[in-house]
Each structure stands twice: as structure tokens, then as C-alpha cells.
Structure 1
Amino acid sequence: MEKIPTLSYIKPFVSTRNACKLCSPLGACIAIKGIEGCVPVIHGSQGCATYIRRYMISHYKEPVDIASSNFSEETTIFGGQANLKMALTNVSNQYQPMAIGVATTCLSETIGEDVASQLSNIRNESTNSVLPDLFTVSTPSYQGTHMDGFHATILEVVKNFAVKLPSADKINFFPGFISPADIRHLKEILSDFDVNSTILPDYSDTLDNPIWDQYYRVPKGGTSISELKKMGEAYASVELGLFTAVKQGGQNGRKEISGASYLENEFGIKNHQCIAPIGMNSSDTFFDILSKVSGKDIPLKYKMQRGRLLDSYADGHKYIFGKKAVVYGEEDLVLSLCSFLDEIGIEVVLAASGANSGKLRKQISKHCPEHGENIQVMSDSDFEQINEACNSLSPDFLIGNSKGNYIANNFNIPLIRVGFPIHDRIGGQRISLLGYKGTQDLFDKVVNAMIEYKQNNSPIGYKYM
């Protein structure tokens, strides 16, 4: 007789507590804000749009309008096309946008809304001559994270707008989910290499505006529609991040593809992919790629930045060597931060992400040659799991977004704030991490955090280093 397993052999289920991720349509809205004159519309309930506005405004400290098709009980039963049509008409009349990006939600996805067909019907039936370019992206919150929504939007924008054109002297640049300050820094780098480029997305102005003398319903800036259409004429693409692909197709023919790999597959545009350049090694790789695609030597300006960074590594080494860190956030950010910390002699004891690609462990081992095999990797994690892990890991500091602040307080250790969201400090949109310059800023923050902690907790204190 077969023995029936007892309940003691069954792993107890624990629900997510304070997830280390955000919802898919939020990521979609951030990407949509990087397109010139584009307004995001959430196809779902009003609460979804309010939640997204709250997070974006608290981080970027800018006015952010997120429209909604405003699902009700009746809409949920009979479908949302009428609501979507009204939302698109209202947004078109009030904002006069150049494009509207429609992101779905759990509710519209659960009832099976075919938004692409709905947009086609609305376009055909509409008597409104001012309807702009329309596109949609599938972003159910019960599937994936805000990064899935972000990258799915980039892919859909490329598929909707890019057309095959004769090759021109330009490249496509996919920076990934980074700060407006880092987008501006990348623009400066590309300009110094004398590279003509299309950056997608570009929210360096739309989510980090100067002071206005008048209110703009749609902030200026972003990647123009005309530039999006020309992405098919580039001779190369550069893509930052290794977790940029989204799953496409049915269960039998499912494959992973990003905006850059789509252009490579469909238009033959070579994609040069690397991890986000945080740290000396990854920045070297990034600048070598730019030198290769541009055919130009690395400008002296960046060689000097590299030299100063290397000098600071020597200056600060004694304050940080052997320290232990917990890193959390989006997978690409976590990977790049682990690579950086590994090269400066800090032991990452935990690398955690709310995403679950199944690839983070392998990439950390590859890009962290000093301690990579010993790093505990936690995927599909929440902040309570991270908090519990810290009991045995005894880190010296945490590095990640503001949502881990209570953990740092629990253990009386510093939190170095990077990523999204930063909602308990000002300047989250101006945090620079990329290249030698961004790495320098981050290195100084890490060293100074360790010095300050020792200074504040020393029984005798000290004034000089």
C-alpha cells in the first residue's frame, strides 16, 4: 500500500508581504512618458491610475497625468470598448497628444479585452479627426513586474513605429530603466563620441522638468514619433541590461525578445548588449562598445574620469574592504550593483529581486568573479524575506530603493538609496550611477556611509580620517 505523505512534508505557503516589485502598467507608463507628446491611458479602474500617479509623482517630483478608461461593475461584465473610446476622445480633445499608449490592467486582461482590435474599431468608427497615433501593450499586474511592463512597452513601440529604411549613419540606444540624470549623461557621452542616435525611451526632460513659466498638459521632450519611425535605418543598436526581453507568442512557440533584438531579427540591425555600466569593469565594456560602433577612440575626457575613479578606489579601499552588503531591486540594477561592489572588495551577502527570470544567479556568478559563487540570490522575493535573511547575514549596509528603509532601521545600518522608488528623500530623479562619473558618485556615497557609521558609533569618535 502506497504511503500517503503527511502534512509535515508539505512546504507551507506564505503570501507576499511588501513585494520587492511594482506593477506592470506602472513600468509601461514610465516608458510611455519617454515618447514625445505621448499620454498614457490605463485600460482598467481609476484606482490603478491613481496608484501609478502616486508612485511617479513621489519619486520624480513632477506633475504626472495618467488617464483611465474607468472600469465599473457594468464595464467588467459587458466589456470596456465604450469606456476606452470615451477616454481616448477626451484625452485627444483636452491634451492634443501626438500619441496615446494604452496599457492594460489585471481587470481588462482577466475579462479578455482585445485592446488592439478595440483600437482598430475606435479608429474606424471615430469622427474625431484629431485622434493621434495609438498603440497598446499588455501589462497585467498579476504577471511580471514593473520592469516587464517597461520592456514590453519598448518592444511594442518599436514594432508599431519602426519601418525598414536604407541604412543611415545613426544608432539606436536602449538605456533601460535608469534615472533622467543618467539619460542626460548618456546623451553627453554619445555626443562626445560624435554619434547620431535615437534614445528610447527618453524621459530626461518629461520626468525632470525645469521650472515652467506656464503649465504644460504634456511636458516637452521625449523621443519623437519621426525618430521612432527611423529606428529601422540604424546601422547598430546598443542595449543596456541583460533582462530586457519579454515573452512573446503562445505556449508552444513562446520566445523572449526585446526592442533591440526585434530590430536585429527583423531588420538585421546588430545589437550590442551589455550590463548597465556601474563600476570600472562594466564601464570599460560600455565605452569599448561605443568606440567600436562609432569607429572613434575613447575621448580623453573619459580616460581622465576613469583615472580619477581608479585613484579613488585606492584612496577609499581601507574603509570598505571586507564590508558586507545586501542589494535589492530590479534584476539589471541588482546585477550591475553586485558587479561594482565585487570589484571594490565588498562582499554582497544577499542579492534580492521581486522578479523571477531564473537567470540572475548565473549572471551574478559570471559578472562577480571575486565573490559571485558565494552570493545568496533571492528571486521573487519580498521585503519581509529580505528582513528575515538579514538576521543571519549581518550586513554592514543596504543598497536599494526607499522601501527597504525600515530594514536598515531595524538593524541600525545605512541605506544607500538608488533605483525606484525614492520617495523619502528629494532628488531620486537626479541620482547618477552610470559610467565612470556615475560610478564615482556612487563609490563616494558608499565610502562616506561607512565612515559616517563608524564615526557615529565610535565610543571615542574621531575628526580626521
Structure 2
Amino acid sequence: MENETNIKEKAFTSTRNACKVCTPLGSSIVFKGIEGCVPLIHGSQGCATYIRRYLISHYKEPVDIASTNFSEETAIFGGEKNLFIAIENVTKQYNPKIIGIATTCLSEVIGDDMRKIIHRYKTEHDASIPELVFVNTPSFMGTHMNGFHDTVTSLVKSFASIGERTFSVNMFPGFLSPADLHHLKEILAEVSIHAIMTPDYSDILDNEYTGEYEKLPKGGTTLTELQQTGCSKASIEFGYILNKSNPQTESAAEYLETTFDVPRINLNIPIGIKATDAFFSALEALTSKKTPEKYTKQRGKLIDAYVDGHKYVFGKKAVVYGEEDFVVAMIAFLEEIGIETVLCASGGNSGLLRKTILEKVKPKSDIQIHDNFDFEEIAETCKELKPDILIGNSKGYYIARELGIPLARVGFPIHDRLGGSRIKHIGYEGTQALFDLIANTLIQQMQDHSPVGYKYM
């Protein structure tokens, strides 16, 4: 006789309110992090509009996304003509150094041979055209994280070249906030590492106000830097799952290791003391220098904060959701501070989430681990588990509101608050901000529901 769990699992035949975003969106974020690059979505206008609106709502910055504007006729006869027109229009309007082309479900289903089409365009035009890079990003084959990591790999494969070994270090941070990228660059500069960060949208998606509209904001990984990735001393890559939905897929650092013999250092996203210690240990090994006192002091202050706030967080139950690698890093951090994660969920479908958490985090208590999960499933599970706090992006707010559970907003997307691009998650400093956020969110919940209405802890 089938148990209740199996029957319940079989009852879900469709995704309702997905805990993920479409694949070309992740690709577009990477292309925005390349200097002089315009993302071009090979599909319908609706895809580009959706991505543009979604990113603008989180980053609060202008985000131009071009489209090949498929119609019914294009869907039947193919998108080559539309792609040629789009490339010419983008070139005239923006004069970009590179056009990053991401496919959509529609262009993939009809079978457009992108390699062949782009080769034909290049042979029919002179050498003055921008660099053209494409990546296959059908949403039926993954999430925005597949699009993100596959695009990073595609860029490295397109430009990395052999040359004399340099002292540069490739930095593949994954999908972090602009504030995280700024902090990461600060750390690397402090330890005298010349880093090639790919992608680097730290200024582009968190820009200053100048009073003038810039078609192509300054900043981003340069084409020269992408070429130099094959000559670097090493690569540091954050995240264990990356784009491993397909076991045959290489990450950018794996490709550089196998093709150019650039050593790969694979680390958890540095959230929490243990993960940040591992990051600084890797930097010490690369530079043969001790961690600067500035960061050892930050570490000490963070430990002091853990001690101060321990009684407010210890034993609380949390639900964590978001991108797979982000979830892994957050659970490791929560284990440090004594919060029990009762459910971790992701819309990712790599099949590696459970294995990674059990092997890399080794949680002390039982935990429900679900990938390919949607928000309706998260909501129903929350009703059973009765957590004290939700930790994730703002798409879970309706669950928090319905169940009267506080939500600590982290990750992407943050659509109902200002400052999504300025949330710092990594390093001792970012961990300090996260600890304060989570502790104060729990304290406010207790305070708001106290019969006394105390104002002193």
C-alpha cells in the first residue's frame, strides 16, 4: 500500500508559482556584467520584456534587453532573418563591443542552428561588427542559474587564450549581489590579488546617478580580461552545484583547468565564519601572506555578535529557499548560529541538492530537502512544519503573511523593498549583516506578539 507521502507527491503534476526564474534571465545578468555588452534574446518580444521588467524591479537600474521579436511567421520559417536585423539594429543603436545572444524556448523548439546562423552572419559582414557570443538557454531545460553559469562558461570558451602565465586569479563568484561583488573586489585588492572577475556587474547594476542616460554603463569584465583567463595563476569558483543539471556540462573554472591547466579552487559561497575562513585560507595559500588584520578583526567582531545574539536565535526553526548553491551556503551559516533548518527548497532540478547538503554541510538534525519545488509546495509544507522564520527572496512574502511568519529577505529577487542590490551576504562583514537581520527579525516577531509590548531586551 502506498504511503501518504508517495500519493501526495504523485498528485503534483504541474508547477504553481515556480521557485525559479527563466534560463535566459540568468544569461542576461551575466551579459550585463561584460563591458560594452548588450544582451539579445532570440525569441519573442514578451521574453525580453519580462526579463527587463524583472531585473529593473530588483536592481532599480535601467536594463536594456534587445529582442529578435519572433512572430508567427518566424516560428514557422526560423529566426535567422530576425536575428540578422536585430544584430544590425543593436550595432547601430548601441555600438557595443559584444552582443550576447541567448536563445529561448521558442527558438530552441523550432531548431534554429545558432552556430551556423552566426557563422553565416560573420561571413557576410566585415570585421567591424561586434563580437558575437551565443548560449543555448531554453527554460524547459533548466533555471536562471543554468543560464547564468552556462553563459559564463560560453564567454570563457569563446575568448580564453593561451599565453604566458600571469599572476592574475580568475574569480567566478556566481550569482551574488552587486554589494557582494564590491566587497569581494575590496578583499582581493587588500590581499594584493589582481582578480579577473567574471561577470562583474557591480557598477552596472548598482550605478551612480549622473543625470544622463547611459546606453552602455561603464564597468564590467573586459574582453581583454576574458582572453587572459586562460593564462591565470588559478581560478576561484564559488558554489558546488553550479550548472550540473547536465553532468556533461563544464563550469568555467573546470573548462580552464582541463583546457589551459589553470588550477581550480572550488569553495562554498563564503557565508558564515567557516566558509569565509576557507576563502581566506585559499587567499593565503595563493599569496603566501597572512590575512590582513582588518579581516581578522571583522571575524572577531562577528564571533562577539554570535555570542550576544545566541539566545535569540538558538533552537529556532527556519525554512530556506532560493538558488541551490545559495541554499547550501545559507544552511551552513544557520548551522553555525544554532538555527535548525526544517525545510530547504529550490526550484533547481540538478538532483544534487540533497547530496551536496548532506556531504558538505552535514546538518546536525533532520531536514526536509527538496529541489524542483514550487512556492505552493513550500506553503503547504510550512503549514505542517510551523517554522519560526522564512529566509529567502520576496516571492515568499505571501506565505509569511498568510501564516504569520516573519520573512528575512535575502537573495534574488527582492521586489517589495528598496536595496536588493545593496544586500551584502558574503564575508565576515556580509555574514554580520545577515546575522543582525535574522536575529532582529526574530526579536521583532516576539516583540510584536508579546502581551507586554516591551521596549528593552
TM bracket, shorter-chain basis: over 0.9
Secondary structure of 1:286's aligned partner: helix
Quote how far apart the aligned CAs of 1:247 are: 6.1
Q: 1:69 aligned to 2:68?
A: yes
Match of 1:385 in 2: 377
1:33-71, Cα deviation, whole Å (9 max, x unpaired) = 010000000000000000000100000000010000011
Distance 2:180 2:10 in 1: 43
Q: RMSD between aligned alpha carbons?
A: 1.4
Q: 1:463 aligned to 2:446?
A: no
Distance 2:12 2:143 in 1: 21
Matches within 5 A, 1:279-428: 279-371=272-364, 374-428=366-420
Change in 2 beyond 3 A, CA 1:221/1:171: same
Change in 2 beyond 3 A, CA 1:375/1:9: closer
Write the letter of the residue equivalent to 2:90.
V
Change in 2 beyond 3 A, CA 1:41/1:395: same
Please say if residues 342 and 369 of structure 1, whose CA atoms lie closer than 8 Å, have aligned partners that are also in contact: no
Please say if residues 39 and 100 of structure 1, whose CA atoms lie closer than 8 Å, have aligned partners that are also in contact: yes
Quote how far apart the aligned CAs of 1:124 are: 1.1
TM-score of the aligned structures, taking structure 2 as reference length: 0.97
Write the letter of the residue equivalent to 1:350.
L
Quote how far apart the aligned CAs of 1:164 are: 1.0
Change in 2 beyond 3 A, CA 1:9/1:198: closer
Match of 2:441 in 1: 449
Q: How many residues align?
A: 451
Secondary structure of 2:140's aligned partner: coil
Matches within 5 A, 1:133-282: 133-246=131-244, 255-282=248-275
Please say if residues 343 and 370 of structure 1, whose CA atoms lie closer than 8 Å, have aligned partners that are also in contact: no
Write the letter of the residue equivalent to 2:410.
V
Please say if residues 165 and 232 of structure 1, whose CA atoms lie closer than 8 Å, have aligned partners that are also in contact: yes
Match of 1:119 in 2: 118
Write the letter of the residue equivalent to 2:332.
S
Write the letter of the residue equivalent to 2:315.
G
Secondary structure of 1:242's aligned partner: coil
Write the letter of the residue equivalent to 1:223.
T
Please say if residues 116 and 135 of structure 1, whose CA atoms lie closer than 8 Å, have aligned partners that are also in contact: no
Distance 1:450 1:79 in 2: 54
Distance 1:75 1:12 in 2: 37
Change in 2 beyond 3 A, CA 1:9/1:97: closer
Structure 2 alignment gaps of length 5 or more = 1-6
Distance 2:393 2:381 in 1: 18
Quote how far apart the aligned CAs of 1:10 are: 10
Distance 2:8 2:401 in 1: 36
Write the letter of the residue equivalent to 1:337.
M
Write the letter of the residue equivalent to 1:148.
N
Match of 2:88 in 1: 89
Quote how far apart the aligned CAs of 1:323 are: 0.3
Quote how far apart the aligned CAs of 1:123 are: 1.2
Structure 1 alignment gaps of length 5 or more = 1-7, 249-253
1:281-325, Cα deviation, whole Å (9 max, x unpaired) = 111111111111122111100000000000000000001110000
Secondary structure of 1:41's aligned partner: strand
Distance 2:39 2:352 in 1: 31
Please say if residues 178 and 202 of structure 2, whose CA atoms lie closer than 8 Å, have aligned partners that are also in contact: yes
